[in-house]
């Protein structure tokens, strides 16, 4: 308990800032700055017809290894009303930016390994993911080990960011490749910064739109029996650097959960390893 | 005029801000006097751009080099830029832009005198990823110019 308190006190004293896009599913081309550690918690609440109200959560640790390489480790959990609260697994992903300067469209290669069961964090929708997945009860024994590849394409233009993700996921147990997509666009509410310190300056808010869904699998590619979501999204960066994000998202067909509510908090610790070096002196 | 630095071509822009090189003056004093001046300037630029934190100058396209800063010298932009610097740059480049163990100072001659605002804008947008400088294209253009205004005010 004392250690936890000390950790929280340390965390509150660290220089924190973030300039995050307000996306929950879509990745932009922007990498973590080298040496920075970002701690994020993303959550989703849904109430699927025929299922139980659930809260899915990710705790993410994103570290900038190089300017062109970001590594991220996720811990997933979920809680379902009238069922259980479980740790649903972990993911480890790496993103690589092959082109070392800015272009009109900037590609990033994303590779992820995941070991999860009864996942309800909905960090990506692929294949025929949809309502039937929420009908069964939580089962920690049904572990899926999957590799996921994404091609992330992102552009920045006049303050706007437009990002598209093309997703391919393979269950290492032998299921066919599954596919999905995500795209999002966002912009700060003001492009120039104010001269004075302020809590609710428009440049501290970013707003946009996000859409994502499944595209079937290798044997049945297409939109049949796939779920799709769209919704506005917004975030606000507080003066101490904490970023709060929120997005109501809406299912676009009968195979989707009608409404999802996503919210997130992120902290960025600049030059994370340097903190320990200074302390060692 | 182009020079090769670290295998990259650099536009020297010898006439930028130097009215001495205006054509009528050149005609008046004669090219035999101007050539040595050109050589001295070229060698200085080459030496400066070859410093560890100056090699990126060789990559800046001429049109980016000539971009003008819409906020140049404006006090409000300096104040806003100071806040942006504190949020995003201070940790690597030092509290007062004096540099840190691994990252270069921003009070150097390269940043303050040789690089134009356009050069710095290009560097912020593209980064110099091989050397650890990330791209800051996620910041909107006006904020990048405000940041440059602040950095140049440290001169």
**Where in chain B are the domains?**
2-52, 63-153
Q: Which fold has domain B63-153?
A: Cytochrome Bc1 Complex; Chain D, domain 2 (1.10.760)
Q: Please list the residues that pair with A148 across neighbouring strands.
A: A112, A169
- B49 at interface of A, judged by CB pairs closer than 8 A: no
User: Which residues in chain B are closer than 8 Å to A191, comparing Cβ atoms?
Assistant: 140-143
Q: Using an 8 Å Cβ cutoff, are A216 and A127 in contact?
A: yes
User: Which residues in chain A are closer than 8 Å to B141, comparing Cβ atoms?
Assistant: 158-159, 191
Give me the tens of pLDDT residue by residue for chain A, a chain 281 residues long: 445 444 434 444 444 444 689 999 999 999 999 999 999 999 999 999 989 999 999 999 999 999 999 999 999 999 999 999 999 999 999 999 999 999 999 999 999 999 999 889 999 999 999 999 998 888 877 889 999 999 999 999 999 999 999 999 999 998 999 999 999 999 999 999 999 989 999 999 999 999 999 999 999 999 999 999 999 999 999 988 899 999 999 999 999 999 999 999 999 998 888 777 654 44
Cross-chain residue pair A33–B134, CB shorter than 8 Å: yes
Dihedral angle computed from the Cα positions of residues A114, A119, A121 and A123, in that order, rounded to the nearest 10 degrees = 40
Angle at A274 between CA A271 and CA A275, to 5 degrees: 100
A22's tokens: 């307000």
- Give A16 to chain B, closest Cα distance, Å: 9
Cross-chain residue pair A102–B127, CB shorter than 8 Å: yes
The Cα-based distances of B32 to A247, B25, B26 in angstroms read 69, 13, 10
Give the global pTM: 0.83
Q: Using an 8 Å Cβ cutoff, are A67 and B127 in contact?
A: yes
The domains located in chain A, with CATH, are: 2-280 (2.40.160.40)
CA-nearest residue to B132 within chain A is A67
CA-nearest residue to B88 within chain A is A17
User: Which residues in chain A are closer than 8 Å to B84, comparing Cβ atoms?
Assistant: 193
Give the single-character DSSP code of B59. Answer: G
Question: How many Cα atoms are found within 13 Å in the side-chain-facing hemisphere of A182?
Answer: 21
Question: What is the enclosing helix (H) or strand (E) of B47?
Answer: helix B31-49
Q: In sequence order, which residues have a C-beta less than 8 Å from that of residue B142 and are 6 or more positions away? A: A191, A192, A193, B70, B71
Angle at A161 between CA A157 and CA A162, to 5 degrees: 105
């Amino acid at each position: 308990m004392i250690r936890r308190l000390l950790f929280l006190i340390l965390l509150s004293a660290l220089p924190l800032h973030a300039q995050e896009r307000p996306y929950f599913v879509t990745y932009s081309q922007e990498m973590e700055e080298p040496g920075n550690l970002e701690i994020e918690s993303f959550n989703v609440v849904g109430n699927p017809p025929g299922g139980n109200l659930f809260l899915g959560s990710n705790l993410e640790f994103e570290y900038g290894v190089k300017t062109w390489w970001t590594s991220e480790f996720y811990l997933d959990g979920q809680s379902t009303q009238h069922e259980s609260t479980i740790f649903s697994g972990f993911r480890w992903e790496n993103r690589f930016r092959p082109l070392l300067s800015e272009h009109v469209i900037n590609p990033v290669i994303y590779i992820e390994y995941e070991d999860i069961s009864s996942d309800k964090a909905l960090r990506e929708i692929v294949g025929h993911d949809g309502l039937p997945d929420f009908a069964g009860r939580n089962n920690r024994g049904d572990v899926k080990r999957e590799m996921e590849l994404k091609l992330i394409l992102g552009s920045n233009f006049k303050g706007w960011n437009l990002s598209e993700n093309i997703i391919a996921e393979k269950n290492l147990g032998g299921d066919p490749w599954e596919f999905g997509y995500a795209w999002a666009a966002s912009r700060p509410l003001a492009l120039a910064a104010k001269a004075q310190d302020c809590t609710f300056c428009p440049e501290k808010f970013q707003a946009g739109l996000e859409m994502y869904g499944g595209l079937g699998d290798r044997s049945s590619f297409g939109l049949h029996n796939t779920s799709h979501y769209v919704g506005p999204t917004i975030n606000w960066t507080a003066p101490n650097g904490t970023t709060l994000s929120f997005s109501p998202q809406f299912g676009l067909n009968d195979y989707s959960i009608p409404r999802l509510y996503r919210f997130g908090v992120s902290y960025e610790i600049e030059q994370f390893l340097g903190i320990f070096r200074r302390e060692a002196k | 005029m182009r020079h090769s630095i670290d295998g990259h071509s650099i536009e020297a822009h010898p006439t930028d801000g130097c009215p001495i090189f205006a054509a009528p003056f050149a005609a008046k004093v004669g090219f035999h006097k101007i050539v040595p001046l050109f050589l001295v300037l070229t060698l200085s630029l080459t030496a400066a751009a070859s410093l560890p934190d100056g090699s990126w100058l060789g990559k800046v396209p001429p049109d980016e080099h000539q971009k003008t800063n819409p906020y140049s010298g404006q006090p409000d932009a300096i104040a806003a830029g100071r806040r942006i610097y504190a949020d995003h740059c201070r940790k690597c480049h030092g509290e007062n832009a004096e540099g840190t163990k691994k990252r270069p100072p921003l009070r150097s001659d390269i940043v303050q005198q040789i690089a134009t605002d356009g050069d710095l804008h290009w560097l912020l947008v593209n980064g110099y990823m091989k050397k650890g400088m990330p791209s800051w294209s996620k910041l909107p253009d006006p904020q990048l110019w405000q940041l440059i205004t602040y950095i140049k005010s440290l001169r």
